[in-house]
Amino acid sequence: MSRLSVALRKKLAGFTLDVAWTAGDGVAVLFGPSGAGKTLTLQCLAGLLRPDAGRIVVDDRVFFDGATGVDLPPQARRIGYVFQGYALFTHLTVAANVAFGLRSRPRAERLRRSAEVIERLGLGGLEARYPSELSGGQRQRVALGRALAIDPALLLLDEPLSALDAPLRRALRDELREILAAWGTAAVVVTHDFTEAYRLADRIVVYDGGRVIQTAPRAELLWQPASEAVAGIMGLRNVLHGAVVKATPERIQLRWRGQTLEAVNSPTRSYLPPPDSPLAFFIRPEYVRLIRKDRGAPDPAHHMNLMSGRIVGEADFGTVWSLRLRLDAPGAPAQGDFDLEVEVPHLVYEILEIERDRHWQFSIHRGSIHVLPA
């Protein structure tokens, strides 16, 4: 059951936004690179920008319909908008900011509601402060409070964490998730950071160049990006190119760097390309298993997609080591001077004495090779 249905067309100088997606309860994240049209979409939702064509419906209320000429002004939409820089009224106190959208209500009701919002967001004691006297996290909560106070039909948040420093970002990402869950307001969040998108979203809409290239529940997106373009925007590593050997609804066999690899076909969208067609796939660096040399010869039944290679580069990321492996197979490496990026925890790195031992056999479970439909 979709609460929000969006179809928009808007032509601007050198850019065309042409998107359609729906979302239900909970949080929908518009995810994609800067300049993909995410903020433009929010402005159209809020009525701050008029689309050329399309239809926007929130909870059965038609906000915009290019065909019938319906176009509710922002004042009539009851949408809470948290702007990227928060857009707090710097000449008003915290209390006046939060109560700003309540002007049409009776005074007693206005005071009660703004006190309630201030209390729930932990802003008690800051009522008389001005925005310039608040920390970044407090400002974010005031912006949220101002938007939530009006009981919005929909809450829009534009890059809500981008104005904050890295340590605070992490803490506030979790806090924001809790606030959104606690208030239960349907929300649309814009971000270009996949971790942020994944953390906040129930559903993710992937934007690229003014278009939507995938819409999926967050777990599905994580494991089944619909294309190489989506994988690229998500920042996935080890996006590789091979050729199909044989495809069945369950399995896909593919040829890559002289090896024949076996992958599980997508469980939701079986993909059956003919033999020899090019195929993109990706392997998560943390799902490559190095084979211990002290446990005897590898068992082919247990270790699928067995390969061997040499470590040609490594980098320490504090909790994990990232290793660059080059296959023993002849031919040019797939990614510059290496074939695969492999991630191992520090503990594993020490136990296996990887610092000393640079040549390894490794295996990849077929479920960890993800095909990317063309």
Measured between alpha carbons, how far is 292 from 353 in angstroms, rounded to an integer?
Answer: 10
Instruction: Count interface residues toward another protein (CB under 8 A).
Output: 25
Is residue 77 a contact residue for another protein (CB under 8 A)?
yes
Task: Mark out the alpha helices in the chain (DSSP H runs).
Answer: 38-46, 94-99, 107-120, 136-148, 166-183, 194-200, 218-223, 228-234, 346-351
Count CA atoms within 13 Å of residue 34 on its CB side.
Answer: 3
Near another protein in 25-44, by CB under 8 A: 43
**Distance between the two ends of the chain, CA-based, in angstroms?**
30
Per CB under 8 A, which region of 74-82, 205-213, 233-241, 338-346 contacts another protein?
74-82
The 103-142 contact track toward another protein, x by CB under 8 A, reads xx--------------------------------------
Output 75 or 319, the one with its CB closest to another protein.
75
Output 80 or 210, the one with its CB closest to another protein.
80
Among 20, 48, 153, 334, binds another protein (CB under 8 A): 48
Per the CB < 8 A criterion, the answer to whether 186 and 25 are in contact is yes
Helix then strand then coil, % of the chain, to nearest 5: 30, 35, 40
Among 73, 184, 296, 300, binds another protein (CB under 8 A): 73
Is residue 331 a contact residue for another protein (CB under 8 A)?
no
Q: Which tokens hold the place of 125? A: 């004691």
Among 8, 36, 44, 150, binds another protein (CB under 8 A): 150
Near another protein in 177-216, by CB under 8 A: none
Per the CB < 8 A criterion, the answer to whether 276 and 286 are in contact is no
Residue at 218: amino acid letter:
R
* C-alpha of 4 from chain center: 19
The helix or strand, by DSSP H or E, that contains position 191, with its residue range, turns out to be strand 187-191
Among 8, 17, 46, 204, binds another protein (CB under 8 A): 46
Chain contacts with another protein (rule: CB under 8 A)? 43, 46-48, 73-75, 77, 79-81, 83-85, 87, 89-91, 100-101, 103-104, 146-147, 150
